[in-house]
Amino acid sequence: MPGPLDGLLVVSLEQAVAAPFLSCRLADGGARVIKLERSGGDFARAYDNFVHGQSSYFVWLNRGKESLVIDIKAQEDQDLLHRLLSKADVWIQNLAPGAIDRAGFGSEALRARYPRLITVDISGYGEVGEPYSQMKAYDMLIQAESGICSVTGTPDEQCRIGVSACDVATGMFAHAAVLQALYEREKTGKGKGVKASLFSSMADWMAGPLLHHEYGNRPWPRIALGHPLLVPYGAFSSKDGAKTLIAVQNQREWERFCDHVLLRPDLKTDPRSATTVARVDNRPFVEGVIEGITGTLTRQELHDRLRTGDVPFGSVNSVADLSKHPALRRVTVDTSAGPVSVTAPATYYAGEAPVGGAVPDLDQQGEAIRKEFAA
């Protein structure tokens, strides 16, 4: 069945993660996505060779696309690109700062030439002036610059988030903005320019700690698998060594937790633990009591009590555990080296199974696209 974006043409001069994430989700929706690559290909093709000899990141982010190798400095390929853009609905680029303007394909000029075109510029810091607007930016650099590392890790050590959070968040925000722009174009007939940056994406994620700092004048604590504003909200060990993350967010859950899990109803009225604020102020006492009790139970016994009390919890799993998790949804995509089972898109439409298009080899559709869009 055709997807909701069937009939849309997306042209993307992309590399790495953020822009490919955006265009991948548009392809999942049924759009035709032509991925423009340099002669050496998107450098994410070489991140590793773990998936039938191919890069795990590339397989994940490039299903359902067509690959065309292009040299945007060559006049012949510039002409080809303009022919593509004259038919395109969306143009995406995430080259190094200034590179696309020097090549003559800046977003404002393109929208002036093709008024219905929606342009997407993805950068590290956005158009904020030098030096940041001219700085190259990768995911871990932005995690450090945005302050998110300062709230991630243990009290003794800052850490990065273990996945490409800045890139993925930017692709997600840009995806939403493109869909909004397409909807607006239905009413106005005109495209618009979408600007997305890795730094702004992380700054949005950091709104809570920032407000905490600016209005509460208190630092946001870095407490590993704990929560700075709620107790208990963290990982506790059972006697078999397994860790379970217990999340108590309100007073009703705390009372059920005391009655059914801890078997300590007195803690509901103890002034050190009776309220949310008291539990945070007396974190060592409260967490010590909990750890002393969970440490006498097996994981299964603890989970049984948590279910009886209707207290939210989750196992602290490994990637190996995720691989066999019953809630994990998958989709199979084709590659030239064989089919690959990957995580399914996070959202889907009721009654419809997700479908993943094939992952292209470098310039796999190049000859056909050049013929289709010949002068």
pLDDT band at 20 (very low <50, low <70, confident <90, very high): very high
Residue 229 has pLDDT above 90, yes or no: no
Q: What share of the chain is helix, strand, coil (3-state, %, to 5)?
A: 40, 15, 40
Q: What's residue 1's pLDDT?
A: 66
pLDDT bin (cut points 50, 70, 90) of residue 105 is very high
25, 33 contact by CB (below 8 A): no
Under a CB-based contact definition with an 8 Å cutoff, are residues 169 and 163 in contact? no
> pLDDT tens digits for 71-96?
999 999 999 999 999 999 999 999 88
All CATH 3.40.50.10540 domain ranges in the chain, comma separated: 9-205+328-372
Structural contact between residues 133 and 145, judged by C-beta atoms closer than 8 angstroms: no
Percent of the chain with pLDDT over 70: 100
Which of 15-19, 119-123, 185-189, 352-356 bottoms out in mean pLDDT, i.e. has the lowest? 352-356
Residue 82, pLDDT score = 96
Q: What is the mean pLDDT of residues 9-18?
A: 96
Domain 9-205+328-372: give its CATH superfamily.
Crotonobetainyl-coa:carnitine coa-transferase; domain 1 (3.40.50.10540)
Task: Dihedral sign for Cα 330, 331, 335, 338, please.
Answer: positive
Taking the C-alpha atoms of residue 85 and residue 94, their distance in angstroms, rounded to an integer, is 16
Q: Identify the CATH homologous superfamily for domain 233-315.
A: formyl-coa transferase, domain 3 (3.30.1540.10)
Dump pLDDT digits (tens) for 230-261.
999 999 999 999 999 999 999 999 999 999 99
Task: Record the tokens describing residue 238, joined without a space.
Answer: 């059972």
Q: List, for residues 192-228, the tens digit of each pLDDT value.
A: 999 999 999 999 999 989 998 889 887 888 888 888 8
Q: Pairing relation of β-strands 65-69 and 340-343?
A: unpaired
H or E stretch including 102? helix 99-102
In the chain, CATH 3.30.1540.10 sits at 233-315
- Enter the pTM of the model: 0.89
pLDDT digits (tens, 9 = 90+) for 125-167: 988 777 888 888 899 999 999 999 999 998 899 999 999 999 9
Question: Mean pLDDT in the chain?
Answer: 93
Q: Minimum mean pLDDT among 52-61, 94-103, 265-274, 356-365: which range?
A: 94-103
Whether 227 is catalytic: yes
Candidate list 175, 212, 213, 227, residue with the active-site label: 227
Instruction: Look at residue 58 and tell me whether its pLDDT is greater than 90.
Output: yes
